[in-house]
Amino acid sequence: MYRLPKRLLVDNPMDRYSIGSSTPRLQKNEDGSPTIYLSRDSPGADKESNWLPAPDGPFWAVLRTYGPNDAISKKEWTQPPFVPE
């Protein structure tokens, strides 16, 4: 999570600057996928394990895949959409 326009990491009270499969206590949906919350304010105590704090204002979120599987390498996988709530 980077603050724009300088593209510096977003300081936050959780000291969390990224979220991913190795994030402690990451909650997953029934299908095994996580729902990630990108917001300035907490989405609620029950969802904070999947929360990446965002700045008040423009930000740049980057999706990185490490050791991609065949679906990603063959471009058969597409990134899930960002869905505003």
CA 14, CA 53: separation in Å to the nearest integer?
8
- Do the beta carbons of residue 54 and residue 40 sit within 8 Å? yes
Give the Cα-Cα-Cα angle 16, 21, 24 (nearest 5 degrees). 55
**Host domain of residue 24:** 1-85
DSSP H helices, 2-76, are 70-73
State how many domains the chain has.
Answer: 1
Structure confidence at residue 66 (pLDDT): 82
Structure confidence at residue 49 (pLDDT): 95
Mean pLDDT of 2-30: 89
Across the chain, how many H-helices and E-strands are there?
1, 5
Structure confidence at residue 51 (pLDDT): 95
> How does pLDDT run across 25-75, given as a tens digit for each residue?
999 999 998 999 999 999 999 999 999 998 888 888 888 888 778 988 898
